[in-house]
Amino acid sequence: RARGAALVAARRGGHITFHGPGQLLAFPVLDLRRRRLPLRAYVAALEALVLRLCRRLGLGAARALPPPFTGVWMGDSKLCAIGVHCGNRITSHGLALNCCTDLTWFEHIVPCGLEGKGVTSLSHELGQHVAVSHVLEPFLDSFQEVFDCTLVSAEDAG
């Protein structure tokens, strides 16, 4: 509270995390029945999406780990947190990719409930400022590839 943060309970997988400026937040709403996709495979697809994006940006060392280390990692530091909710096979919530996030916010929590693990960002790993706007288009391209779909913007939908 002293730093101006609020604590909000959310119905999704995972433990406490931080959402704020400099993060790409993606909360896909998908019907897993229509996609014939089990929940765990959906989480793995979100990881694959971020890994594909990381490769595009030159971060070949990014990796996904088995639960409870869900998300995308650079060494022992989490680059992207994933927490989903699924009700009636419809997904909500999703992922938070640290682009140019102020990582000091994470010093006040145990991110994702994982003691002794760090948090990193694309900016930190690439050694240059990486704005959310810089990764949005390659993120959407990666989404289309992983989920084998075509995204349509609200403007294009008419």
Annotated binding site for substrate: 12-19, 81-83, 94-96
The answer to whether the beta carbons of residues 81 and 15 sit under 8 Å apart is: no
Strand, coil or helix: 29? coil
CA distances from 72 to 7, 31, 101, 152 (A): 24, 23, 16, 26
User: How remote is the C-alpha of 84 from its chain's centroid?
Assistant: 10
Residues 6+ apart with CB under 8 A from 158: none
Q: For residue 21, count CB atoms less than 10 angstroms from its CB and return exposed for 0-12, middle for 13-18, buried for 19 or more.
A: exposed
**Placement of tokens 């014939």 in the chain:** 36
Spatial CB neighbours of 104, under 8 Å, sequence gap ≥ 6: none
Indicate which residues carry an active-site annotation. Answer: 112
